[in-house]
Structure 1
Amino acid sequence: MARRRAPQRAPEPIRATSMWRVDQVFLARRGPRIEVTCSLVNDQGGLRNLSVTAPTEDPVQAVRHAARFIAGKGNVSGARQARLRWTREQATTEQDALIRDRLLEDEFLDEFEETLAAVRDQQR
């Protein structure tokens, strides 16, 4: 007697547009410029990194430049509670690698929110 197979569940569809959230921001000096890498997560556990090299060596201007770039993507919904740190090679001790730069976090979030509001206004 042949056994019947249990019906297979259809695989979950891949969402064409997934909303992402900024989780962490890393800064690294690359000569006279600063490279900013944003780690993004989505509601389904996906992870992706976006990097941009700011045309400046000023950290405040670099995070503002990166915030405009990331918020302008259109499918990044927020950056609340995003942690900002310098990369390990920029830290002089292991403890330095753990320290968050809260002032730069505020700069990033302010610029991100302003750009995101402008993008949403344009879409209306």
Structure 2
Amino acid sequence: MARRPARSAPMPLRATSMWRVDQVFLNRKGLRVEVVCSLVNDQGGLRNLSVTAPTEDPVEAVRHAARFIAGKGNVSGARQARVRWTREQATTEQDALIRDRALEDEFLDEFEETLAAVRDQQR
């Protein structure tokens, strides 16, 4: 009787994955700013969440997006998240590579505040 090859143990299924914000892209849509957050998890998964902020001010738009993303509950952090304007908003290819560090700080501050508030409510 032939032996079956030994199988490695399957990876356990997780009810929820914890995600972290990797990149944030901004795009002007008329008088509003669309914010797309690229999220990654510890298993290499990738997903994008999009929200259109009810303002044309980029600072308020990233704050709005940070509150939206942090309020999801399964996003654990946003450290080292990069904020950039989309290619359509850039005037040159080099502009598309430039990070907006001031907006990164705004996003991270608002994200951390909202995440702390969510965790306090869960206790």
Alignment TM class, shorter chain as reference: over 0.9
Percent identical among aligned pairs is 87
Q: Which runs of at least 4 in structure 1 moved beyond 4 Å after TM superposition?
A: none
Task: State the partner residue of 1:70.
Answer: 69
Match of 2:60 in 1: 61
Unmatched 5+ stretches in structure 2? none
In 2, Cα distance between the equivalents of 1:14 and 1:108?
A: 32
TM-superposed CA distance for 1:6, in Å, is 1.3
Deviation string 1:31-85 (CA, Å, 9 cap, x unpaired) is 1100000000011111000000000000000000000000000000000000000
Q: TM-score, normalised by structure 2?
A: 0.96
Find the aligned partners of 2:77 and 2:118 in 1 and give their Cα distance.
13
Q: Which moved more, 1:54-63 or 1:14-23?
A: 14-23
> Distance between the aligned counterparts of 1:90 and 1:23, measured in 2?
20
After superposition, residues 1-124 of structure 1 pair within 5 angstroms as 2-124=1-123
* Alignment size in residue pairs: 123
Structure 1 unpaired stretches of 5+: none
Cα RMSD, aligned residues only:
0.9
The residue matched to 1:56 in structure 2 has which SS? Answer: coil
1:82-117, Cα deviation, whole Å (9 max, x unpaired): 000000010000000000000000000000000000
- When the two structures are superposed, what TM-score results if normalisation uses the length of structure 1? 0.96
Post-superposition shift, 1:14?
Answer: 2.5
